[in-house]
């Protein structure tokens, strides 16, 4: 009687996950848990969501006014990003942000001029920064300064601090602490054989903005777009990941694109086939891959159409994605309790435990079997690398 193969739903505990840092009264529903220096605070009932906190600098205080949070905890050596909604109630207002541990500044932003958005809520983000190694991880604070802010007022709402974020400004709607909105694009992302790449309000899959890209490669070339180093998520072992990008061509045109997923130290291309996209928004997805290492995870969009002008929006890296058996069926890979049968093409087989430790790594010829005794009620990760360089990874659990 054949044993039944289950796709495990259990997830291993791992420090490599996206985490929202707990900050007291981060929604600014009251004035508590925030300390004002050379300034006064009050409740703004017209918040982005419910109440907000209104902060007014004292006369003559210039850059010495601060709004500072109570202390909170961030683990050592994780990448973090801070975002919040800010509204300027007077013209030409500027604001800077500082994140500190035990009074020592770890990250200080450039200032952003909010004059253009007077009276309008604006979502603003920090650059990604590392928490580093701190003697006491519970002594973090975030504070805001109004340079030249005497008698000026700002309102703050819905602050979030995210450790190891899956995505940073994937919808291209967030401004960064600087004088130009373009940094919300050029800070988190990098491109090759594309010039220019600019924020565009001509088309958007969601929100108000997308990114316009122009291919500049010669015949036979290709362009790429993906998250920069430092803005890439560190994968959580045992989790299934998938990347996606919404794409559309210029009106009346087409562009050929494909999405791949960088994970486990390699580019996972799946079927490696380009999709022809016209002038309607189309979701382009990478293969689903299970993380076996804590390497960087990010989606890359590749185009092969010369001189194409096209648009992208809603760049997303998702985890906890349901893994289908289709890849294994297409590759004619059979996994039983006694081993793995390779039926379509030569392949290299990897078997890992749930912590990512390699148990077996062996090349298997077409039609042959890798004999391995999968223990009952124990979770394994099996990864198959075929002759074309495509990798198929799945979780394996036998219940009897």
Residue 316 has pLDDT above 70, yes or no: yes
CB neighbour burial string for 255-290, b if at least 16 within 10 angstroms, e if fewer = bbbbbbbbbbebebbbeeeeeebebebbebbbbbbb
CA distances, 395 to each of 6, 210, 248, 398 (Å): 8, 36, 35, 10
Confidence of residue 321 (pLDDT cuts 50, 70, 90): low
**How far is residue 31 from each of residues 55, 143, 157, measured CA to CA in Å?**
10, 14, 11
pLDDT for residue 259 is more than 90: yes
Which of 136-145, 230-239, 308-317, 375-384 shows the lowest mean pLDDT across its residues? Answer: 375-384
Q: What is the pTM of this model?
A: 0.78
Cβ neighbours of residue 290 closer than 8 Å, sequence gap 6 or more: 238, 239, 240, 241, 323, 381, 383, 393, 394, 395
Which phi and psi angles does 380 have, rounded to 5°?
-125, 155
Q: How confident is the model over 10-17, as a mean pLDDT?
A: 47
H-state helical runs in 152-215 = 183-186
Distance CA 278, CA 253 (A): 6
Please state, rounded to an integer, the average pLDDT across all residues of the chain.
86
Two tokens at 351?
């078997």
- The rounded distance, in Å, linking the Cα atoms of 203 and 182 is 17
Question: What pLDDT sits at residue 63?
Answer: 63
> Smallest Cα–Cα separation from 88: which of 49, 119, 67, 113?
119
pLDDT tens string 130-181: 999 999 999 999 999 987 667 788 999 999 999 999 999 999 988 888 755 5
Q: Tokens in use for 320?
A: 């906890």
For the chain, the distance separating the N- and C-terminal CA atoms, rounded to the nearest angstrom, is 11
Q: What is d(CA 52, CA 42) in angstroms, rounded to the nearest whole number?
A: 9
> Per-residue pLDDT tens for 29-70?
999 999 999 889 999 999 988 999 999 888 765 667 899 999
Question: How deeply is 224 buried, as exposed, middle or buried, from its count of CB atoms within 10 A (0-12, 13-18, 19+)?
Answer: middle
Alpha-carbon separation of residue 355 from 12, 206, 259, 264, 393 (angstroms): 7, 38, 28, 13, 15
Contact 243, 291 (CB under 8 A): no
What is the distance between the alpha carbons of residues 55 and 88, in angstroms, rounded to a whole number? 10
Convert the pLDDT of each residue in 77-136 to its tens digit.
999 999 999 998 776 688 899 999 999 999 999 888 876 567 888 889 999 999 999 999
């Amino acid at each position: 009687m054949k044993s039944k193969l289950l796709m495990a739903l259990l997830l291993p505990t791992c420090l490599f996950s996206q985490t929202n840092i707990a900050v007291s009264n981060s929604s600014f529903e009251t004035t508590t848990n925030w300390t004002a220096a050379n300034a006064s605070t009050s409740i703004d009932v017209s918040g982005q969501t419910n109440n907000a906190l209104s902060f007014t600098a004292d006369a003559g205080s210039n850059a010495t006014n601060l709004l500072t949070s109570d202390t909170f905890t961030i683990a050592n050596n994780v990448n973090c990003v801070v975002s919040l909604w800010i509204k300027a109630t007077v013209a030409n207002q500027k604001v800077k942000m500082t994140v500190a541990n035990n009074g020592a500044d770890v990250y200080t932003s450039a200032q952003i001029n909010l004059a253009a958005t007077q009276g309008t809520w604006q979502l603003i983000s920090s650059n990604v920064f590392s928490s580093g190694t701190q003697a006491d991880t519970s002594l973090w604070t975030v504070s805001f300064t109004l340079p030249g802010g005497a008698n000026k007022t700002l309102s703050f709402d819905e602050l979030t601090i995210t450790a190891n974020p899956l995505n940073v400004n994937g919808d291209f709607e967030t401004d960064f602490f600087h004088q130009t909105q373009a940094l919300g694009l050029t800070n988190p992302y990098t491109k090759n054989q594309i010039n220019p790449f600019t924020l565009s309000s001509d088309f958007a899959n969601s929100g108000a903005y997308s990114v316009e890209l122009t291919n500049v490669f010669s015949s036979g070339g290709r362009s790429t777009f993906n998250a920069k180093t430092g803005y890439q998520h560190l994968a959580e072992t045992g989790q299934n990941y998938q990347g996606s990008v919404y794409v559309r061509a210029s009106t009346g045109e087409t562009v050929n694109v494909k999405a791949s997923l960088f994970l486990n130290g390699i580019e996972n291309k799946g079927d490696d086939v380009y999709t022809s996209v016209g002038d309607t928004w189309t979701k382009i997805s990478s293969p689903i891959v299970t993380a076996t290492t804590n390497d960087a995870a990010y989606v890359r969009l590749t185009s092969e159409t010369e001189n194409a002008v096209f648009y992208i929006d809603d760049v997303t890296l998702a985890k906890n994605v349901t893994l289908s058996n289709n890849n294994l069926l297409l590759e004619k890979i059979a996994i039983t309790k006694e081993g793995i049968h390779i039926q379509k093409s030569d392949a290299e087989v990897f078997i890992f435990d749930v912590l990512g430790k390699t148990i077996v790594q062996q090349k298997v010829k077409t039609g042959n079997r890798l004999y391995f005794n999968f223990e009952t009620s124990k979770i394994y990760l099996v990864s198959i690398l075929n002759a074309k360089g495509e990798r198929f990874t799945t979780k394996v659990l036998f219940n009897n």
